[in-house]
Structures are given as structure tokens and as C-alpha cells.
Amino acid sequence: MARTYQLEQIKQVVDKLDVAKYIEDGFIAYSQGRVVVPPVGEMIFEKPPGDVHIKYGYIKDDDYFAIKIASGFYENYKIDLPTSDGLILLFSQRDGFLASILLDECYLTNVRTAVAGQIVAKFMAPSKIECIGVFGTGVQGRMQVKYLKPVVDCSDIMAWGRSRDSLDTYKRDMEKLGYTIRTTTDAGEVTQKCRLIITATPSQTPLIDAGQIKPGTHITAMGSDTHLKQELDPKILQSADVVVADSIEQCLTRGEISKTLQAGLINKEDLIELGEVIAGHQSGRTSDAQITVADLTGVAVQDIQIAKAVHEALLQSDFADE
Amino acid sequence: MARTYQLEQIKQVVDKLDVAKYIEDGFIAYSQGRVVVPPVGEMIFEKPPGDVHIKYGYIKDDDYFAIKIASGFYENYKIDLPTSDGLILLFSQRDGFLASILLDECYLTNVRTAVAGQIVAKFMAPSKIECIGVFGTGVQGRMQVKYLKPVVDCSDIMAWGRSRDSLDTYKRDMEKLGYTIRTTTDAGEVTQKCRLIITATPSQTPLIDAGQIKPGTHITAMGSDTHLKQELDPKILQSADVVVADSIEQCLTRGEISKTLQAGLINKEDLIELGEVIAGHQSGRTSDAQITVADLTGVAVQDIQIAKAVHEALLQSDFADE
């Protein structure tokens, strides 16, 4: 019988899990064409304004399939509630039966997004990082940094934000976790100091110009996941030595790559897919002097894989308890 | 916080609920164009063969929206499991938060389908029924009969089936519930004796000819819900005085009506929608001599309404327990 797990139970097992291994395997399966992802289901509400998305899919010949539901109701702050709620349902591919209800309140989406950043850094960051640059002071501006720990030996962060208040809060919160935080509202200061840069904002206009990028820099652009959002000057991707997409198909219509393709500054053939890099069929970074960019728009296989990892770990801990 | 309810808890409240009232209101809202139902989500599996459908939607300006997930894995009998699993998730339209997880294992779909038959009989059956005819000995062949009880004063049933074994099992099971059951493999015997007939088979060829239908008969055809299935000779609908569809839009492409439209034997303008009859804007049956047909293909608003009814009842019983 399917079990229901609350956020606190989920957080406990996630912290002990090698999520990256699952997500890496997911990206490889995706790049091999073994992942089935039907079109996203959507409901739009007007009073109050909100939207609901249903994302679902599976890896062929795998044990499970997953259905993720996430809501965003943008006036929830008026009634002291978070904007988003969400859950992931995991079912068996052997019999269609429900296996787990993960009431993760969108937490697993945040983790799988941050883990993708970790994987990218592992394959694409230059060998020596003295300062990590972070654009954005929200959930991903924090989680991306935390999840870099296993692969990047650096706790010096330079955070960029538009608002002094958010930067101060970010600094205070992150210093409690042991990071050394400098803050700035000047993008040039980040590109000057940092050879590993994460962009994690909802910006719709470029935050960084091509002229600001130093040789030997890697940028993981994960804020833009729609056709409207954009964080990088398209010329950055044009001049980069390597441009990696989490999903080439998806990046044709959303994220930084779509903007650069539209501007005619790169070709689809110039793109490398993350799963190909992880599998070793394509190179990520080959020298510390290269400029590299990874564009992460979020792929359903990440949800499938993290749900599977968490389900299996919860099942084991249930058995241990019984 | 969302609560998870198991099948047994759900069954207990359903039996005490006036589900018909909720479903009637749902059909009325549907016919008034107040129901939003996006395209059904689908996943198809090959090894083992199975399919999963995600149906979802909401009544505008209502309290909730619903997402129903149902799987069918057709080789589950080999591993001693039911073919289908399913659940309904109910969320608040006020904030997007999950309200209830109803692990109903498709039971609520069976109930809402049977209740639609009850509603149709209430508005369309002739006033005096001496024997109810039932084509099909499966779940709906049983539940349709049980749910007629509040609206049709008759416990004499004539059941039609292809297999003597299934008919014998049906007779034995239903007699335990107090029904008088005659069985037959001759459709003509049913049409001769019964003025209220339910067809609840997965047939792909007509089971009843137009020439067999007596004046004063009502037929509820609920077995056919795809473009392949068909239980009635299209000439029955052509010669009927009233043809009601649960959803005219849906019946254009599936069910008995679609076959009759394709054959050019009726026009879309001849159709009446069930919600219009319930609301009193259109007549169902107006005399005991009429031949009437209702074509039920299953509408998402039925799922929304039964989930809402069950959620509200469960919430009340939870409060009573605390």
C-alpha cells in the first residue's frame, strides 16, 4: 500500500542520499532518448490568480513513473501562506500501482535543481575556484551554493542582488552556515573576482555583458526557464568555448540558449547535452582557460530520479523502523 | 495539512452522502459552460502493457480543483493484482494547496458513473418499471442497478451476458442483495420485458437492434466511452423521441451518439445535454410512450463533484472524531 511522506521525513533522507548519482543517471538516460515526457498539463486560475502544472514521465524499462504537481498562487502572501504547494506521486511501472506520495511542498524540485548545478560544476568548473559568484539571493541563490560543497572547495561567495535588504539577509543567513559572503550590486565586480558564477534570478534582461567575462570562467545559468526570462548577454554564449544544455530540445524554446539561437549567434549543432558530458561521450571543460556556459531549464527526468531515490530510501528506513 | 484517506474510509462516507445532488449540480455547471477541463494526460507502457490517464479540471469560482489519476495494467491478473489503481487529489482554488488525497482505487469513478445512471433514470425512465434490463455483468452491471434504488421502485432484474458463468455469478451475487434475477443470452428477451434498460458492456458491435425496442422504453447506454465501443444499433437513436448526452462535445467523438452522427442518422441539433434536463431548461421524457436514450461517456465534472462531496464529508467526520 502506498505511503504518504511529509516534508520533514523527506528532508531527513535527502540529506543522507547520493542524489547526484541518480540525477546523473537521469541526464544520461535522457540524452540516450530513453525518457518519455508527455506535454505538461496546466490549469490557470483568475480569482485569485494562480497556476498549476502537472509534469510526468518515466525512463523506459525502469521500475517507476512519476507525476509531479506544483501550484503557484501569487497572492498567497496576503493570507500568510507560501506561494507554492506541490507533491510528487511515484507509481510502479510493473503494475501501475501507487508506490509513494511525497508531500515535498516543492522541496525536491529545489534540490534536484541545485544538484544539477553541482553536476555541471563537477564537469565544467575550472580546477581552482577562489570565489563563487552568485546572482540572486532567493532559494536557489542559497541552495546552489550549498550543493556545490562536494565538488568545489571554496566557501568565499560574492553575491549580487538588486536590493540591499535582500543582500544583507542573504549575507546574514549564509554566514551562519559558515560561508564568507561579500555582496555587491555591480555585476562587473562578480565577473572580475569569480571563475565560477551561478545566475539564479527571474530576470528578463541580461545581467552580465560579454565584455565582462574573464577567460577561465564557467557560468551556470539556471534562472531562466521560460522563453521570457534571460540573464546573460547572448554574446557570452557565442564567445564561449563550450555551451551545454540540460535538454537541447527544451533549450530551443526557453532559457539563455533560445535567446542566443534567435539572435543567430550560435547554431543548434554547437550545443552539447549534459547527459553526453556525464556519460563521457562529449567533453565539458578541457582547459582552465576556457569560457564555458551551462544552461539549465529543468528536465522532468530530474523529478523522476529524485522521487525514486527518496522513495527507495524512505522504504528502507520504514523497514528499519518496523 | 492535506489528509490521506484509504478506500474503506471513503466507502463509509459515500454511503451516507447525497452524491446525486453534487453530480447533478456538476452536470448543470457543465452545461452552463462553467467547467474547465484541459486535455487528458496520458502515458502508455509496453512491458508490461499498461496506460495511465490524468484527468483534471474545475468549476469556475468554486472552492476546489481536482486531479484524478487512473492506471490500467492489463496483465496484472498474472500477478494476482487488480487491473486498475487510482486516486483523486483535491486542491483549494483559494490558495492552490492540497486539501485531500483520496486513495479510492477507482471506486469513486464507479460511483459517479452509477450515480449518473441514477440521475438519468430519474428524469427519463417511464413512470412504471416492472423489470430492469441490464446488459453486462461486470462492476457497472451491478452498481448501476444498486444506484437505481432511490429513483426506481423495482427489484426484478433481467441480466444479459455472453457467458453463462458470468450470468450465474451475477445472479448469485445480486440475489444475496435482495434482487430477483433472471438471466438470458437473448437481447430480444430483455427488450420484450424491460422498459428501463442499462447497457454496461465493453462491446464494439451493437447488442440491440432498433426493431427490438418497444414504445415506452428508456435506454441508458454507459458502456461505450471511446470511439471504438458501441452497444446500440444507431437506428435506435434515430427513432428515439429524446436523445440525451452527458456532454454533447464529448459525444461528438465517442459513444453511441458519435456512431449515429457518423452514420448521418441524427444531427447535433437533435441532442439535449443532461445538465439542461436537470436544470429544467430541456425536457427529458414527456410521456410514458416515448422511446428515450441517454448516452453516458463520463465527464470530468463528475470526478470533481464526487471528490468534493467526499472531502467535505471526511473533513466533518474528522472534526467529529477529534
pLDDT tens sequence across A225-273: 778 889 999 999 999 999 999 999 999 999 999 999 999 999 999 999 9
Residues constituting chain A? 322
C-alpha cell at B234: 444507431
CA nearest to A120, candidates A213, A23, A260, A201: A23
The Cα–Cα gap between B299 and B30 comes to 9
**pLDDT of A107 above 90:** yes
Give the pLDDT band (50/70/90) at residue B225: confident
Question: A67 vs B54: CB contact, 8 Å cut-off?
Answer: yes
DSSP-derived 3-state class of residue B208: strand
Grid cell 471526511 is found at B314
**pLDDT of B260 above 90:** yes
Query: What is the distance in angstroms between the Cα of B71 and the nearest Cα belonging to chain A?
Result: 5
Q: What is the pLDDT of residue B168?
A: 97
B2 at A interface, C-beta within 8 A:
yes
B7 at A interface, C-beta within 8 A:
no
Query: What is the distance in angstroms between the Cα of B315 and the nearest Cα belonging to chain A?
Result: 18
C-alpha cell at A232: 546573460
Residues 6+ apart with CB under 8 A from B4: A4, A101, B100, B101, B103
DSSP-derived 3-state class of residue A164: helix
B283 at A interface, C-beta within 8 A:
no
Is there a contact between B236 and B210 (Cβ–Cβ < 8 Å)?
A: yes
The Cα–Cα gap between B143 and B138 comes to 9
Question: B45 vs A95: CB contact, 8 Å cut-off?
Answer: no
In chain B, list all ranges with CATH 3.40.50.720: 114-299
DSSP-derived 3-state class of residue A48: coil
In chain A, list all ranges with CATH 3.40.50.720: 113-299
The Cα–Cα gap between B103 and B100 comes to 9
A49 at B interface, C-beta within 8 A:
no
Query: What is the distance in angstroms between the Cα of B251 and the nearest Cα belonging to chain A?
Result: 23
Please state whether B320 falls in left (phi above 0), alpha (psi between -120 and 50) or beta: alpha
Q: What is the pLDDT of residue B228?
A: 85
Q: Over the stretch A279-313, which tens digit does the pLDDT of each residue have?
A: 999 999 999 999 999 999 999 999 999 999 999 99
Q: From the candidates A3, A45, A63, which should be mutated to test the interface with B, based on the most B CB atoms within 10 A?
A: A45
The Cα–Cα gap between B18 and B246 comes to 20
Based on its alpha-carbon atoms, the radius of gyration of chain A, rounded to whole angstroms, reads: 19
CA B216 to chain centre: 22
What is the residue type of A235?
A: K
Q: Is the peptide bond before B206 cis (omega within 30 degrees of 0)?
A: no
**Residue among A38, A43, A85 whose CB faces B42 most closely:** A38
In chain B, list all ranges with CATH 3.30.1780.10: 3-108+301-321
Range with the poorest average pLDDT among A1-15, A104-118, B138-152, B307-321: B307-321
Residues 6+ apart with CB under 8 A from A232: A199, A206, A207, A208, A219, A221, A256, A293
The pairing of beta strand A50-59 with beta strand A84-92? unpaired
**Residue among A47, A76, A81 whose CB faces B61 most closely:** A47
Contacts of A87 in chain B (CB under 8 A): 89, 98
CA B38 to chain centre: 20
The Cα–Cα gap between B110 and B101 comes to 18
DSSP type of residue A211: G
Question: B96 vs A84: CB contact, 8 Å cut-off?
Answer: yes
Contacts of A73 in chain B (CB under 8 A): 94-96
B87 at A interface, C-beta within 8 A:
yes
Question: A91 vs B71: CB contact, 8 Å cut-off?
Answer: yes
Q: Over the stretch B71-124, which tens digit does the pLDDT of each residue have?
A: 999 999 999 999 999 999 999 999 999 999 999 999 999 999 999 999 999 999
C-alpha cell at A56: 510526468
C-alpha cell at A268: 543548434
**Neighbouring-strand partners of residue B41:** B54
Query: Looking at residues A97-118, what average pLDDT do you find?
Result: 97
Question: A52 vs B81: CB contact, 8 Å cut-off?
Answer: no
- Of the candidate CATH numbers 3.30.1020.10, 3.40.190.10, 3.40.50.150, 3.30.1780.10, the domain formed by A3-108+301-321 belongs to 3.30.1780.10
Grid cell 545566475 is found at A199
Per-residue buried b or exposed e for B69-90, using 16+ beta carbons within 10 Å of the residue's own CB: bbbbbeebeeeebeebbbbbbb
Question: A56 vs B54: CB contact, 8 Å cut-off?
Answer: yes
Please state whether A105 falls in left (phi above 0), alpha (psi between -120 and 50) or beta: left
Question: A95 vs B87: CB contact, 8 Å cut-off?
Answer: no
CA B296 to chain centre: 6
Question: B91 vs A52: CB contact, 8 Å cut-off?
Answer: yes
Q: From the candidates A3, A95, A106, which should be mutated to test the interface with B, based on the most B CB atoms within 10 A?
A: A95
Q: What residue of B is the nearest CA neighbor of A69?
A: B67
Q: What residue of B is the nearest CA neighbor of A55?
A: B41
The Cα–Cα gap between A51 and A39 comes to 16
The Cα–Cα gap between A254 and A234 comes to 13
**Residue among A39, A54, A96 whose CB faces B50 most closely:** A96
**pLDDT of B236 above 70:** yes
**Residue among A48, A79, A96 whose CB faces B72 most closely:** A96
The Cα–Cα gap between B26 and B299 comes to 9
Q: Over the stretch A29-60, which tens digit does the pLDDT of each residue have?
A: 999 999 999 999 999 999 999 999 999 999 99
Record the pTM.
0.91
**Residue among B43, B69, B76 whose CB faces A38 most closely:** B43
B72 at A interface, C-beta within 8 A:
yes
Average predicted confidence (pLDDT) for chain A = 95
Superfamily of domain B114-299: NAD(P)-binding Rossmann-like Domain (3.40.50.720)
Average predicted confidence (pLDDT) for chain B = 95
Per DSSP, the residues of A267-321 read: -GGGEEEHHHHHHTSS-S--STT--EEEE----HHHHHHHHHHHHHHHHHHHHHH
ipTM value of the model? 0.89
Give the pLDDT band (50/70/90) at residue B322: low
A89 at B interface, C-beta within 8 A:
yes
- Tell whether domain A113-299 is in CATH 2.60.120.560: no
CA nearest to B71, candidates B116, B101, B41: B41
